[in-house]
A and B are shown apart, each in its own frame.
Chain A
Amino acid sequence: MLMTRVIPVLLLKNGGLVKTVKFKDPTYVGDPINAVKIFNDKEVDELLIIDVEATKEKREPNFELVSRISREAFMPFGYGGGIKSLEEITQMFRLGVEKVSINSIAIKDPDFVKKAAEICGSQSVVVSIDVKMDEFGNHWVFDYVNNTTTKLDPVKFAVSIEKNGAGEIILNSVDRDGTFSGYDTDIIKMVSESVRIPVIAMGGASKIEDFVKAVEAGASAVAAGSFFVFHGKHRAVLITYPNKDELKKALSRLSIQNSENAF
């Protein structure tokens, strides 16, 4: 039976790993190569590494670092950050990256998603959508490069990128990022009901129960950052991954329920 993927997402800044709170205040949490080795030992389902500075600094991805990371990644490994050309995507695949995550260029140039999917197949193109809520409780696509909320409706945006060939959507809640307050299940539900491609929930996870709630809301996979790198009430930096059997128990029961509900 297909198991729900539980995906650590690590952020890169100046060659080191950081974790933010609501996209701000990055805290250094360690060396990327070391972290990937630990996640290997823990047999994580998948790993995603995002360079949060590349696009802002208008530079290309750090291919040398990606290459060193991918040599250690014996699980599906995705990369995002600074990708603006099809050549860069091809280069990523040569280095051993399975999936590229694109964000700002998907907002600016919807055709880019289409072109990327045509050359490398939909399954390798993940579009990461950052979502922020306004004071009225409406969700909007957030532009992390310019640090502003756009006028894009996340549901419509998700539908349009699916049409353009995106293979997956990472739905990241800016408001929940690093807060340990649980996923924004409302937006997960709205987006996953509107598209057929897998939606990966992200932002706010603090316990396995949060994963369960996200899947109940319609997520096909769950991602988290702080959950995997901070430990205890003092937020000590410690890379962890839940016990596989525990995850299986919590999430497989749910997959069965979901299939029954669908009949």
Chain B
Amino acid sequence: MIVVIDYKMGNIGSIINMIKKAGGEAKFSPEQDQIEDAEKLILPGVGSFDAGMQNLTKLGLIDVLRKKVLKDKIPILGVCLGMQLFMERSEEGVLPGLGFISGSVVRFKFDKKNAHLRIPHMGWDSVEVKKESPLFSSMYEDPVFYFVHSYHVVCNNVGDVLSTTIYGYDFVSSLQRENIFGTQFHPEKSHKYGLKLLQNFIKLAY
């Protein structure tokens, strides 16, 4: 069973809906023991970095997440803020992140040439896949995904970058390190492209 972590940050309903459509089984839960029993985890999230970390802390989920992800190595997918929380820190807040991935979260900063670009980066955009990954296995040609964000992650290890997208400059639109997957875009809101990606996540062997 996939457990979608319910830490009061955003639209968990749509993730459950899309997983069902993708043929998977998921439930949302804020409980430590449910997360302990999960085969796979999804950390969704819309909202601010510190609020996200505070809620995870308040629910007592930090240790169980560390154990499941770093020790048991079960697949986890972070979406949007969920992925950003995998990093060590963020310009958006002062609290440390989960630190699963080496790197940080920064706000879009544009030079003069791109000063006209609006923030948030909102809408459908393409991705350039940078390495082999089960997440993009037999993906449609020229996939597009729905984005809405003002901050993006910066990976210290280039090898962790799964895809990049151009908005003023190349930024990391998805990442993978072993069992840890993250997308800045919202697969649950990206039609057949997101459906395919979530099907791939569901199919991951553990």
Question: CA–CA, A98 to B195, complex, Å?
Answer: 17
Residues in chain B within 8 A of chain A (CB atoms)? 8, 10-14, 16-18, 21, 46-48, 113-116, 118-126, 144, 146-150, 166-167, 186, 188-192, 194-195
Question: CA–CA, A75 to B147, complex, Å?
Answer: 11
Closest to A67 in B: B13
User: 9 closest pairs, A vs B, by CB?
Assistant: A96-B13, A96-B14, A262-B116, A93-B11, A123-B148, A121-B47, A43-B191, A95-B13, A76-B189
Total A residues in contact with B, Cβ cutoff 8 Å: 41
Given A46-B146, A76-B186, A123-B122, 12 new contacts (CB under 8 A)? A5-B123, A43-B191, A71-B17, A73-B17, A74-B188, A74-B189, A74-B194, A122-B150, A167-B120, A198-B120, A220-B118, A259-B116
Interface on chain B toward A: helix, strand, loop, or mixed SS? mixed
The reply to whether B17 and A120 contact each other, CB–CB distance below 8 Å, is no
Looking at A1, A3, A74, which has the most chain B CB atoms within 10 Å of its CB? A74
Tell me the chain A residues, 172-223 only, with Cβ under 8 Å from chain B.
196-198, 220-221
Residues of B near A128 (CB, < 8 A) are none
The reply to whether B11 and A121 contact each other, CB–CB distance below 8 Å, is no
The reply to whether B125 and A1 contact each other, CB–CB distance below 8 Å, is yes
The reply to whether A97 and B11 contact each other, CB–CB distance below 8 Å, is yes
Give me 13 A-to-B residue pairs in the complex whose CB atoms sit less than 8 angstroms apart, sorted by A's number: A2-B125, A3-B125, A45-B123, A73-B17, A74-B189, A74-B191, A96-B11, A96-B13, A119-B47, A120-B47, A121-B46, A124-B46, A220-B123
Residues of B near A96 (CB, < 8 A) are 11, 13-14, 16-17
Residues of A near B188 (CB, < 8 A) are 74
Residues of B near A227 (CB, < 8 A) are none
Does A226 count as interface, using CB distance less than 8 angstroms?
A: no
Does A136 count as interface, using CB distance less than 8 angstroms?
A: no
The reply to whether B46 and A74 contact each other, CB–CB distance below 8 Å, is no
The reply to whether A2 and B167 contact each other, CB–CB distance below 8 Å, is yes
Known: A74-B17, A93-B46, A123-B150. A196 touches B118 (CB 8 A): yes
The reply to whether B13 and A5 contact each other, CB–CB distance below 8 Å, is no
The reply to whether B191 and A123 contact each other, CB–CB distance below 8 Å, is no
- Of the candidates A4, A119, A121, which one forms a contact with B123 in the assembled complex, judged by CB atoms under 8 Å apart? A4
The smallest beta-carbon distance between B118 and chain A, in angstroms, is 6
The reply to whether B191 and A75 contact each other, CB–CB distance below 8 Å, is yes
Question: CA–CA, A62 to B48, complex, Å?
Answer: 28
Closest to B191 in A: A43
Tell me the chain A residues, 27-56 only, with Cβ under 8 Å from chain B.
40, 43, 45-46
Does A130 count as interface, using CB distance less than 8 angstroms?
A: no
Closest to B46 in A: A121
Question: CA–CA, A208 to B23, complex, Å?
Answer: 37
The reply to whether A93 and B120 contact each other, CB–CB distance below 8 Å, is no
